[in-house]
Structure 1
């Protein structure tokens, strides 16, 4: 396929935000929409492909979500406990998890539009489900959802991207792979000139508007070290190897885009230490995540715990614990459980076909086996688990009525009036004393970076570092949008952000392209 010389809207990036923007532009009247990505077609989807497909959204409870999910019948619905997740709940989570630093206008837009954006996607062919496998525990024959995150797409990120590709084909959106943006300029008549490189040639495209949705710099070891700090070149790339920050640098260089947000921050998770360090796996996708740590403990190579595994629900800690692992000696750790909690681990992450399971009948034997895989201090490992167990016993003796419940912050702790660990486990603290025992070796998997570019919250129009005003015809969404997440993020809010601001950007870009087309036509007559 030849690259068109002109289009109404050019979208750069094939992830959730880019496809949402292209769909919105199409529905808002743009006729000639071109979506480009520097990756080959076999790598379509950016980081969205590697997600669990979870969307955090405001909703009124089970009745509000049932019309858009395909995996709940009437009989199953009777066994589901799913509380409403209100605008206040979402706002409180954003404020708490991001330390009060989120841009308030961006945050309000994200929360206000979250419900309608998800339902809009569903109406257009994105298949949603209740996330039983990741966000609910079956307790007393009832499915109890937790953590404010209840929706996912069918077949996770893989299904999400396939659905988007199907939608793009129906909307006659042109897709061009192996096509890298290399230059950008406004043309003086309201349009945008974009230079792209494909087939060893440069091509110039005159677009009515351009939407940048090309991801962050998480796949660039150089930029990770430059912005995230020393040691971040050692992080394992969780997703696409093509998110190397090119478009961020092009936007700042060519149109003086204003940088914004937490450039030293990122989303990073506990990741299989044996995974490829430079790229995600298209088959395994999100299954290399190792998020079962709240059910056990994490111990570094020196045999010491280093985080409070139960300080909060997993949805609010998994995006920062990767950083904690990276800061440990050799940037690895061991997750440990006994036979009480190992059956609660999600099979897609911990089954034998997906991860090396280190098993033993005693803690001492487990320590010996971990020694063969990087543990440096056997005695410290053993004493750490013994001290942990003693602290748990003391708490249970003092609170015999306490009940373990992984769906809530249950208060089962290591801290009692008689025994306190220097580093607590604040919830879900069961003893690790019943064999067989299980350990898994993990490292830091970097997902996406938080630093990005400043936009108008209403339209996602890119702002200029020179004038602080909007740059005519240029918009920015997805991971490239800065100012929303700081240090951490509430799970699932990234995909929701891409949908909310992609929808706004597509609408605004189509409207701008229509005006600029008229303006260029009038100038041509002079």
Structure 2
């Protein structure tokens, strides 16, 4: 369709064009709604944060035979040589509650977990292709591929592939999409949403509709909102994904009476390459700057001191909260240190040309190349090596190989850093999305201050508050977007049908 909107009218308008938004649009269309997707970004920068993901997506898959339904290309021989621990709804829910310290809204968490597998299968029906997450979630042991961490699934071709599949399906279904179009205001009449106002080339245009799905992300790309709600230091955080997630949808919802919900002072953040761009580079997508092998490292700040237990848990359950710990350090930087024994075990992103690395044959030479307190840096490594206890190192499980007598301890994967060459990877904090949003029910309907649905208003993805607090299990953001995107779109489509039935 033409990108120009003049006097347009639709059943459902979806704001945003990422994973949650397109799942919403597809689901609403499948309910019979006439759907328009409104995307603030230009076409070449569309896809939201989903475009930048590495595609890992968490689901309560149960056991390998369900994974084979999702990926039928897995051969019998490959299945025989695959060890994949069972991971059911109870495991997923327990992980959610463990990492959020029991704060996740039980109704929303149960919906996310309970609908995760059927949503993956639905995505596959819509043309999304998946593959095993071998590189980052498994090790080969005795000729068997051993998966760990409840995250064996990813979308083919990462986030680029995911958005390509969803966009192709949207086009097949005849869903209209306009770009360079910023939604700025909801129209509410007689306590019902009746339209949305957008800006196109500096002009305001009203689109008439019966329902709106807000799925245009959180406020992580809004520097002032980060400072206001998360903390002054967050002005310095790098934005890992799209520059267009500035809280527009949240502000629009609040302006018509939506209820704030969730941890507005919290966010998903990670340790990322120190030389990462300030906002996501659409020419270098795929989450290539992250540095997630830190459980095998020790991580020191410029003062030469450790500040977290790198081996507290499997990477999937700590990476989303350790970014803010790096942000607290002087100059917002830390250094992951490895020796020649651990270097071959590092994830694929450490081998890319974009990875910043300092290498030396001795620790003294390595530290001499870093802008750090050199004596303390070497002393910390020495004390760490002396604190490492005996035990069998196994990176695929929490091996209990730990330290004693130092603070913070290293609870698992404590191996000495003593054999050169040595490697230092400088990292800083990258923010992914903020945890605060609006309150919805489990079907994606936006709730007002009295916990009642605002007629015609739905939300999905990072806009929903109350799911993540402080941390999250890896891959949960992508599945949350898909689950609540499908639910919100389905609800919006049914809402339109019910209105038509009532009016007739």
Give the alignment's TM-score, normalised by structure 2: 0.97
Q: Which residue number corresponds to residue 345 of structure 1?
A: 346
- Pairwise CA distance, 1:460: 0.8
Once residues 152 and 282 of structure 1 are traced to their aligned partners in structure 2, the CA distance between those partners, rounded to angstroms, is 21
The answer on 1:512 being equivalent to 2:482 is no
Residue pair 2:126, 2:166 contacting (<8 A) in 1 also: no
The answer on 1:463 being equivalent to 2:452 is no
1:433-492 CA distances to partner (integer Å, 9 max, x unpaired)? 1111111110000000000000111x2110112x33100000011000011110101111
The answer on 1:333 being equivalent to 2:321 is no
Once residues 444 and 352 of structure 2 are traced to their aligned partners in structure 1, the CA distance between those partners, rounded to angstroms, is 44
Q: Which residue number corresponds to residue 483 of structure 1?
A: 466
* SS of structure 1 residue aligned to 2:311: coil
Once residues 52 and 107 of structure 2 are traced to their aligned partners in structure 1, the CA distance between those partners, rounded to angstroms, is 29
- Pairwise CA distance, 1:499: 1.2
Cα pair distance change 1:388/1:191, threshold 3 Å: closer
- Pairwise CA distance, 1:134: 1.3
Once residues 449 and 423 of structure 1 are traced to their aligned partners in structure 2, the CA distance between those partners, rounded to angstroms, is 27
Residue pair 2:219, 2:247 contacting (<8 A) in 1 also: yes
1:155-205 CA distances to partner (integer Å, 9 max, x unpaired)? 111111111111111111111101111110223385521101112211111
Q: Which residue number corresponds to residue 430 of structure 2?
A: 445
Residue pair 1:9, 1:210 contacting (<8 A) in 2 also: yes
Q: Which residue number corresponds to residue 154 of structure 1?
A: 156
Residue pair 2:445, 2:453 contacting (<8 A) in 1 also: yes
**What is the aligned-residue RMSD (CA, Å)?**
1.4
Cα pair distance change 1:326/1:435, threshold 3 Å: same
Once residues 73 and 409 of structure 1 are traced to their aligned partners in structure 2, the CA distance between those partners, rounded to angstroms, is 29
Q: Which residue number corresponds to residue 408 of structure 1?
A: 397
Once residues 516 and 181 of structure 1 are traced to their aligned partners in structure 2, the CA distance between those partners, rounded to angstroms, is 24
Q: Which residue number corresponds to residue 390 of structure 1?
A: 386
- Pairwise CA distance, 1:249: 1.0
Number of residue-to-residue matches in the alignment: 501
- Pairwise CA distance, 1:70: 5.8
- Pairwise CA distance, 1:78: 1.8
Map of 1:13-162 to 2, 5 A cutoff?
13-30=16-33, 32-69=34-71, 72-162=74-164
Once residues 282 and 359 of structure 2 are traced to their aligned partners in structure 1, the CA distance between those partners, rounded to angstroms, is 25
The answer on 1:182 being equivalent to 2:171 is no
Cα pair distance change 1:390/1:102, threshold 3 Å: same
- Pairwise CA distance, 1:495: 1.1
Once residues 297 and 23 of structure 2 are traced to their aligned partners in structure 1, the CA distance between those partners, rounded to angstroms, is 38
Cα pair distance change 1:281/1:479, threshold 3 Å: same
Q: Which residue number corresponds to residue 310 of structure 1?
A: 311
Cα pair distance change 1:228/1:71, threshold 3 Å: farther
Once residues 63 and 352 of structure 2 are traced to their aligned partners in structure 1, the CA distance between those partners, rounded to angstroms, is 36
- Pairwise CA distance, 1:515: 2.8
* SS of structure 2 residue aligned to 1:427: coil
Residue pair 2:12, 2:493 contacting (<8 A) in 1 also: yes
Residue pair 1:192, 1:474 contacting (<8 A) in 2 also: no
- Pairwise CA distance, 1:280: 4.0
Cα pair distance change 1:352/1:511, threshold 3 Å: closer
Q: Which residue number corresponds to residue 375 of structure 2?
A: 379
The answer on 1:428 being equivalent to 2:413 is yes
Once residues 189 and 8 of structure 1 are traced to their aligned partners in structure 2, the CA distance between those partners, rounded to angstroms, is 17
Once residues 169 and 198 of structure 1 are traced to their aligned partners in structure 2, the CA distance between those partners, rounded to angstroms, is 22
Q: Which residue number corresponds to residue 277 of structure 2?
A: 276
**Residue segments in structure 2 that go unaligned for 5+ positions in a row:** none
* SS of structure 2 residue aligned to 1:288: coil
* SS of structure 2 residue aligned to 1:84: coil
Cα pair distance change 1:206/1:516, threshold 3 Å: farther
- Pairwise CA distance, 1:67: 2.0
Q: Which residue number corresponds to residue 196 of structure 2?
A: 194
1:370-423 CA distances to partner (integer Å, 9 max, x unpaired)? 13xxx2x0111111111111111xx11xxxxx32111100011112xxxx1121
* SS of structure 1 residue aligned to 2:27: helix
Once residues 26 and 341 of structure 1 are traced to their aligned partners in structure 2, the CA distance between those partners, rounded to angstroms, is 50
Residue pair 1:190, 1:516 contacting (<8 A) in 2 also: no
- Pairwise CA distance, 1:338: 0.3
* SS of structure 2 residue aligned to 1:298: strand
Q: Which residue number corresponds to residue 399 of structure 1?
A: none
* SS of structure 1 residue aligned to 2:287: helix
Residue pair 2:53, 2:285 contacting (<8 A) in 1 also: no
